[in-house]
A and B are shown apart, each in its own frame.
Chain A
Amino acid sequence: MNRFPLWKNLLILAILLLGVLYSLPNLYGESPAVQVSPDGNAVKANSSLKQQIIDELHAAQVNYTSVNLSGNSVVVALANTDSQLKAKDVLESRFGNGYSVALNLISASPAWLSAIGAKPMYLGLDLRGGVHFLLQVDMQAALGKAIQRNTSDIRSQLRDQKIHYSDITSTSQEIILHFSDAATRGLANTLITKNFPDLLLTEQDNNGDFILQADLRADALKHLQDNAVQQNITTLRNRVNELGVAEPLIQQQGADRVVVELPGVQDTAKAKEILGRTATLEIRLVDDIHDIAAAVQGQVPYDDDLYTERNGAPILVHKEVLLTGDYITDASPGFDQQSGQAAVHVNFDSRGARIFRDITHDNVGKRMAILLVEKGKAEVITAPVIREEIDGGRVQITGMNSPEEASEVALLLRAGALAAPMNIVEERAVGPSLGSDNIRKGFHANLWGFVAVISFMIFYYRMFGLFSALSLTANGLLLVALLSLMQATLTLPGMAGIALTLGMAIDANVLINERIREELRNGSSPQAAIHAGYERAWGTILDSNITTLIAGVALFWLGSGSVRGFAMVFCLGIVTSMFSAVTVSRALANLTYGRRVRLASISI
């Protein structure tokens, strides 16, 4: 009665072998690497890039382990962190322009393991070091911006249509228009209803004051919020690329939050600065006095910068920035009404509009350069001559080569400035030394606890203790294999979770072993005792594991960050322990004792 059919033994063996196979990469660990990937989608990483990298590393005499094309990037594996940093410097100076060069960790397992998808566990930020930010999008500000934009558009449309209003005011929530008679208000109502489908209009009369109130519709509001978060995520992604992070995580969390995780980033101040930066458009004056030819030769006046225009001509621009993209409320592609050329229409807010009016007022006849600052590099889009004072904050930038380019620049200007300001509401940074320290501590906590538990089990239950110890080992193995296979994030609480589930999993074996002893005491034959011990303990094991699982699932559902990692391990550990404690140890007991017909005693 204590014999498993052959297929069952083979199945258990197969599962254990898979467990060994998929937990093996953790033994090899990860090796330092440098990852070179092209910016944007225009350029693809290919074998010629790989060859260039190899040549470059040879020239600089940097020893590398391997160079591989992986996805849209080339990954260079290195023996140690010193050569990793050296390789990064070398490659950054060569490929810094147009490529992002980032430090990374790659699996050091042999190729055949990687080929079957076996990877080491994915370490969380508290184990590998890095920064975690939780950013909250200021929706109130996004709404305010939209109201502002609509207010100025309504104002100019009413003016264009010669519909006279006595006053127009806006709060952060709504726009209120005042008219002197109902007929004019009716005209305005028709116009706004036609041209501003997002606005919900209500009419009010107040002692000869005819009021028209415009609110944003609920669906428009939702659309606005979704867009604001999406646009901010796009912007953050562009900015994070600048930091050179190998595997950044940028994700929406809830309705108005964004999680940014940057493994390996040490300089949190720089990370914060880059994530929080807003200015992307600069307006400066062109220096037409100094000699451009001399500047090209290298004699750039000290308060000037030398740039190239779109047509390739060099241009000298004053260092003083007169106006930045911070004041942009909107940018949209369009056409110049006179020439039909592609153009970008930029709206400044009232403060920006005033500054712009002053600049144009003071510098009539001079040239003004509009620079697009992207990824720390400035480019002069256009440098028109100021012909007259420009009031109203609506500026048309020409100099685009095509409508496509115009819409790209408009997007950049919009995306460059965040759709709405973001605040950091949570930050967790872990240095690399603390990370490896945590790994070491988590590992030792597991190791010594494990050694103590299996020693006691073997001492106390002898042969059946050995079965328990082996099945606990199988449990640990399967848990690690499962975590590696799922690439679930392993955190320090997750490592504590491994220790705890191992400590709790032994409960099932204790239950079984105690039951067998009891059956023997009650006079059962050894074979019957083994059988009864396993069969009868199963119900209790199931009950107790399900109650524990309830706790694990609730933790996973409501927990955040590293606690989630704990909950994940906890739940998986319960599942693997039910298999190993019952099936694996039973198989061992069956293989040892099951074949003996006349079994006089068992070692327990």
Chain B
Amino acid sequence: MEFFRIKHDIPFMRYGKITTAISLITFLFAIWALAARGLNLGIDFTGGTLIEVTFNQPANIDQVRQTLEQARIKDASVQVFGASNDVLIRLPLHGNIGNSKSSDAVINALHSLDASVTPKRVDFVGPQVGSELYNNGALALMVVAGGILIYLALRFEWRFALAAIIANVHDVVIILGCFAFFQWEFNLTVLAGILAVLGYSVNESVVVFDRIRENLRKMRKATIPQIIDNAITTTMSRTIITHGMTETMVLSMLFFGGDALHNFALALTIGILFGIYSSVLVASPLLLMFGVKREHFLKSTTKTEVSANGAQV
């Protein structure tokens, strides 16, 4: 069976203005969300303490708050987490020292409230480590973007590389924007998900670009927009199915993976959805905008004729 039997090429490039407008609006919205609301950074990046405890019976949040206040544990945020027996307590950093002891203080205080309390998870990140993780994360993002840019520039041409990387950085900004808008917690695992998405959605651009390169050689009489339209249309079936399959796996993580993988799966979902859109409808118009021409492209491929031959879909 087949879902996609498209007889005529869909004139994607004619809708170029609309698609560019759509992505510009989403992009600006994401920037606004990031600027106005900011990311809800987890303690991985801000530093602080996070304690997850389980009670034998449904927990009384007010009582937990009171107990912590009595124990002079300041600024603790207490919330029910998952099942009503589980409570999540967050503590901000206080100065530079003694932070690692605050989790012990919390657990001791809760023990006095209810002896059945058992800590399930304790995370403490010092201020220095937090900012290092933040900086390394930002560095990783740039290294990945730079690495992909260089690889695509070598494998195709700089216009292709630039178009692909702009399209995918646009995805990353939109994911970050969603996290800022909904104030979902942004932690190390989410960052890993975003980097994975960055590497993954470039695939999409690669597949389309491969086909554009092939068409430039084959469709001698066609205009560049026609060539691009044809490339997108012929690879569309593969695009939808591949992303559908990856998304199936990600949804499985979202539903079965529990809280620890929830935001990771969320980041991937947004990344995959926008990845399809941007690598097809952002990267290709950009390519057109950068003025890709048959001549300078063919010149650059004559050297890599052998490998380029295999690269067709």
Residue numbers in A under 8 Å from B147 (CB-CB): 550-551, 553-554
For the complex formed, measure the closest distance between the CB of B19 and the CB atoms of chain A, giving whole angstroms: 23
**Residues on A with beta carbons closer than 8 Å to the beta carbon of B191:** 563
**Candidates A425, A442, A510, A558; contact of B140 at CB < 8 Å:** A558
Contact across chains for B258 and A438 when beta carbons are under 8 A apart: yes
Least CB distance from A450 to B in Å reads 8
A430 touches B136 (CB 8 A): no
What distance in Å separates the Cβ of B95 from its nearest Cβ neighbour in chain A?
Answer: 12
Q: Among A506, A536, A557, point to the contact of B245 (Cβ < 8 A).
A: A506
Selected from B2, B52, B107, B122, the residue in CB contact (under 8 A) with A517 is: B2
Q: Is the CB of A536 within 8 A of B312?
A: yes
Q: Which of B31-39, B67-75, B96-104, B175-183 contacts A (4 or more CB under 8 A)?
A: B96-104
- What are the residues of chain A within 8 A of B143 when measuring CB–CB? 554, 557-558
Contact across chains for A540 and B210 when beta carbons are under 8 A apart: yes
CA distance A542 to B255 in the complex (A): 32
Judge whether B261 and A548 touch: CB under 8 Å: no
Residues of B within 8 A of A504 (CB): 200, 203, 246
Within 8 A of B (CB), among A64-99: none
The yes or no answer to B289 lying at the interface (CB within 8 A) is no
Which single residue of chain A is at the shortest CB-CB distance from B254?
A445
Binds A, one of B10-18, B22-30, B148-156: B148-156
Set B120, B207, B312: member contacting A430, Cβ < 8 A: B120
Q: For A446, what are the chain B residues with a Cβ–Cβ distance below 8 Å?
A: 252
Q: Which residues of A contact B125 (CB under 8 A)?
A: 425-427
Contact B122 A536 (CB under 8 A): no
How many Å lie between the Cα of A511 and that of B211 in the bound state? 12
Contact A539:B307 (CB < 8 A) given known A449-B252, A493-B189 = yes
Which chain A residues border B192 with CB–CB below 8 Å? 493, 555, 559, 563, 566-567
Query: Nearest chain B CB to A428's CB is how many angstroms away?
Result: 5
A445 partner, pick from B129, B247, B252, beta carbons under 8 A: B252
Contacts of B188 in A (CB 8 A): 559-563
- Least distance between A232 CB and chain B CB atoms (Å): 16
- Docked Cα-Cα span, A437 to B107, in Å, equals 21
- For B129, what are the chain A residues with a Cβ–Cβ distance below 8 Å? 134, 425-426
Residues of B117-139 whose CB lies within 8 A of A: 118-126, 128-129, 133, 136-137, 139
Instruction: Return B164 CB to nearest CB of chain A, in Å.
Output: 9
Q: Which of B80-121 contact A (CB under 8 A)?
A: 97, 100-101, 103-104, 107, 118-121
Q: Is A550 a contact partner of B100 (Cβ separation < 8 A)?
A: no
Min Cβ gap B231→A in Å is: 12
Contacts of B246 in A (CB 8 A): 500, 503-504, 506-507
**A286: interface (CB < 8 Å):** no
What CA separation (Å) do A442 and B260 show in the bound complex?
10
Determine the chain B residues whose CB is within 8 A of the CB of A134 once the complex forms: 126, 129
In the complex, are the beta carbons of B2 and A272 less than 8 A apart? Answer: no
A453 at the interface (CB under 8 A from B): yes
The smallest C-beta distance from A566 to any residue of chain B, in angstroms, reads 5
- Determine whether the beta carbon of B203 is less than 8 Å from that of A268: no
Q: How long is the Cα–Cα vector from A552 to B264 in the complex, in angstroms?
A: 16
Number of interface residues of B (CB under 8 A): 79
In chain A, residues 186-222, which have Cβ atoms closer than 8 Å to a Cβ of chain B?
Answer: none
Please indicate the chain B residues that have their CB under 8 angstroms from the CB of A546 in the complex.
151
Q: Name the segment of B58-66, B215-223, B236-244, B294-302 touching the other chain.
A: B236-244
B151 contacts which chain A residues (CB < 8 A)? 546-547, 550
A59: CB under 8 A from chain B? no
Point out the residues of chain B lying under 8 angstroms from A537, CB to CB.
Answer: 313
Asked whether, in the complex, the Cβ of B206 is within 8 Å of the Cβ of A543, the reply is yes
Q: Are A425 and B199 in contact (CB under 8 A)?
A: no
Q: Is the CB of B120 within 8 A of A431?
A: yes
Minimal Cβ-Cβ distance residue in B for A427: B124
Give the CA-CA distance A134 to B143 in the complex, in Å: 26
Residue of A503, A518, A549 near B199 (CB, 8 A) is: A549
Query: Per a CB cutoff under 8 Å, which of A444, A502, A542, A547 touches B152?
Result: A547
How distant is the Cα of A595 from the Cα of B311 in the complex, in angstroms?
27
Q: Are A503 and B249 in contact (CB under 8 A)?
A: yes
In the bound complex, do residue B206 and residue A547 qualify as a contact, i.e. CB atoms below 8 Å apart?
yes
Contacts of A423 in B (CB 8 A): 97, 100, 126
Task: Say yes or no: is B198 at the interface (Cβ < 8 Å to chain A).
Answer: yes
- Answer whether residue B144 sits at the interface, using C-beta atoms and an 8 A cutoff: yes
A515 on the B face (CB < 8 A)? yes
Known: A550-B144, A558-B137. A272 touches B249 (CB 8 A): no
Given A449-B251, A551-B144, A570-B196, CB of A272 within 8 Å of CB of B104: yes
Q: Once the chains bind, are B311 and A540 in contact (CB under 8 Å)?
A: yes
B55 shortest CB reach to chain A, Å? 13
Q: How far is the CA of A459 from the CA of B245 in the complex (A)?
A: 13
A493 to B196, CA, bound (A): 12
Q: Does B166 touch A at the CB level, under 8 Å?
A: no
Asked if B313 and A514 make an inter-chain contact with CB atoms under 8 angstroms apart, the answer reads yes
Q: How far is the CB of A571 from chain B (nearest CB, A)?
A: 10
A441 interfacial by beta-carbon distance below 8 Å? yes
Say whether A496 contacts B253, CB under 8 Å. Answer: yes
Give the docked Cα–Cα distance between A337 and B254 (Å): 74
> Which B residues are CB-close (under 8 A) to A437?
258
Contact pattern, A 99-134, Cβ under 8 Å of B = 1, otherwise 0:
000000000000000000000000000100000001
Q: Bound complex: CA of A318 vs CA of B121, how far in Å?
A: 42
Q: A493 to chain B: which residues have CB within 8 Å?
A: 189, 192, 261, 264
Q: Are A448 and B199 in contact (CB under 8 A)?
A: no
Write out the residue numbers on chain B whose beta carbons fall within 8 Å of the beta carbon of A433. Answer: 54, 118, 120
The CA-CA distance from A502 to B252 in the complex, in Å, is 12
Cβ-defined contact, A449 with B310, below 8 A: no
Kindly supply a per-residue 1/0 record for chain A positions 513-542, scoring 1 wherever the CB is within 8 Å of any chain B CB and 0 otherwise. 011011000000000000000011111101
Give the complex CA separation of A213 and B109 in angstroms: 52
A511 CB to nearest chain B CB (Å): 6
Q: How far is the CA of A557 from the CA of B128 in the complex (A)?
A: 19
Q: Which B residue sits closest to A430, measured CB to CB?
A: B121
Could you tell me if A449 and B241 are in contact, using CB atoms closer than 8 angstroms? no
Whether A559 contacts B107 by the Cβ 8 Å rule is no
Is the CB–CB distance between A544 and B252 below 8 Å?
A: no
Distance of A503 Cα from B257 Cα, bound (Å): 15
Instruction: Give, as a whole number of angstroms, the nearest-CB distance from A546 to chain B.
Output: 6
**CB distance B202 to A268 under 8 Å?**
no
Contacts of A457 in B (CB 8 A): 245
Which residue from chain B places its CB closest to the CB of A270 in the assembled complex? B104
Q: Can you offer 17 A-B residue contacts whose CB atoms are under 8 A?
A: A268-B119, A269-B104, A423-B126, A425-B126, A426-B126, A431-B119, A434-B52, A445-B253, A445-B256, A493-B192, A500-B253, A539-B311, A539-B312, A555-B140, A562-B188, A562-B189, A563-B188
Measuring CB to CB, which residues of chain B are less than 8 angstroms from any residue of chain A?
A: 1-3, 52, 54, 97, 100-101, 103-104, 107, 118-126, 128-129, 133, 136-137, 139-140, 143-144, 147-148, 151-152, 155, 188-189, 191-192, 195-196, 198-200, 202-203, 206-207, 210, 234, 237-238, 241-242, 244-253, 255-258, 260-261, 264-265, 268, 307-313
For the complex of A and B, 5 pairs with smallest distance between CB atoms: A551-B199, A503-B249, A539-B311, A449-B252, A425-B126
Known contacts A502-B249, A544-B206, A547-B203; 15 additional CB pairs below 8 A are A268-B103, A269-B104, A425-B126, A434-B120, A434-B121, A446-B252, A448-B256, A449-B251, A492-B260, A499-B253, A506-B242, A510-B238, A514-B237, A539-B308, A548-B200
